[in-house]
Amino acid sequence: MERSSGAGDEPIAVMNEGGPWGGRGDDSDGGGGKGPLGPRNPWSQPPRKRPEGARGPAGPSAIDELLRKGRERFGGNLPQGNGKPVWIWGVVVLLAVWLLLTGIHRIEPGERGVITRLGRYAGTFQPGMQMSFPAPIDKVSIVPVETIRSTQIGSAAPDAQNLMVTGDQNIIDLAYAVRWNIRDPERYLFELEDPDGTVQQVAESAMRAEIAKVTLNDAIGPQRSQIEAMVAQRMQEILDSYRSGIAVRGVAINQADPPAAVMDAFKEVSAAQQDAQSYMNGARAYAQQLREKAAGESAAFDRVYAQYRLAPEVTRRRMYYETMERVLAKTDKTIVEAPGVQSYLPLTQLPKGAAK
């Protein structure tokens, strides 16, 4: 584009190919200001002294020089392979690695893969090799569903106590463990903010509710297994109401003792109770022995009475003989025949144990 200032005047270049800032202008001002042909290109090299009377654009800019050197380094063109630039092959390799790392998933037999597509639940992968959209479109969370987890509540250490109130207003120190696993991985991930903490809180609540129904002695010994079963059942009901996706596999009471402050006194009471129980067991055994003996004697009397009813006189005589035999068996005896009985018999002078 050219413009004319009048007849016979030489055309003045308004725009040239030197850069986007318009003409480079005349460097006659020697600085960074405006020349007579407009503002100077800020990317051009510093002004150089030009020969007198020289016209036309100044030398190439710094950017032009940098690009020229780059082209010369690569032989005038960017490197190519099979007719395509190498950077295209690099992009293809990066895409393949990205798809391989984020789109192919290996799910083990005891695991499930929960898919979230753009932040929303989209399905669950079963065990095996699975494919999904690459990240960040799809995200797959691997969840172990067959691993049995254990939550410990309370401790057997002397300085750590988990005190609860029993039904008879006593205090007991309990330490127990809850075994559980994941049943529904999608609910486990999305329904509860802190599943592990929820399991612990539900276990404590269920245990306190059951301990409040029994006495101290029952909680320590006889009803421990029943308490464990009831706590597991109550926990499962609460967790199901929360849609937690958790299955309770069991509750085990590891410690059930009175508080440490009264442990010595409780041991003495327990020892006394055990002694009392031992005495009661001995008395019951003796009473049972007497009852069996009486039952045997009663049965023998019934048999004798049955014989007596059949022959009363014979039975009476037999009983007399048997009684006398028992009485006289271990005593010294002297037998005197009736005919020719002497009026005086020195019984005290007869030798003891002589044959009669």
Rounded CA-CA distance 340/169 in Å is 92
Q: What is the pLDDT of residue 2?
A: 40
Q: What is the pLDDT of residue 54?
A: 52
* For residues 279-285, average pLDDT: 94
Cα R_g (the chain), whole angstroms: 56
Sign of CA dihedral 280, 281, 284, 290: negative
> Which has the closest alpha carbon to 151: 162, 163, 141, 166?
162
* For residues 133-153, average pLDDT: 86
For the stretch 9-36, pLDDT in tens is 443 333 444 444 444 444 444 444 444 4
Average pLDDT of the chain, as a whole number: 76
Question: pTM (2 decimals)?
Answer: 0.50
Which of 27-41, 107-121, 191-205 has the lowest average pLDDT?
Answer: 27-41
For the stretch 234-278, pLDDT in tens is 999 999 999 999 999 999 998 888 877 777 777 787 788 889 999
Q: What is the pLDDT of residue 127?
A: 84
Are the CB atoms for 164 and 211 separated by under 8 Å?
A: yes
Which of 152-161, 185-194, 276-285, 318-327 has the lowest average pLDDT?
Answer: 152-161
State yes or no: pLDDT of 120 exceeds 70: yes
* Neighbouring residues of 166: CB distance < 8 A, sequence distance ≥ 6: 172, 211, 212, 214, 215, 216, 219
Residue 70 carries which side chain, given as an amino acid letter? G
Which of 45-54, 112-121, 192-201, 325-334 has the lowest average pLDDT?
Answer: 45-54
- Which burial class, exposed, middle or buried, applies to 266 when counting CB atoms under 10 A from its CB (0-12, 13-18, 19+)? middle
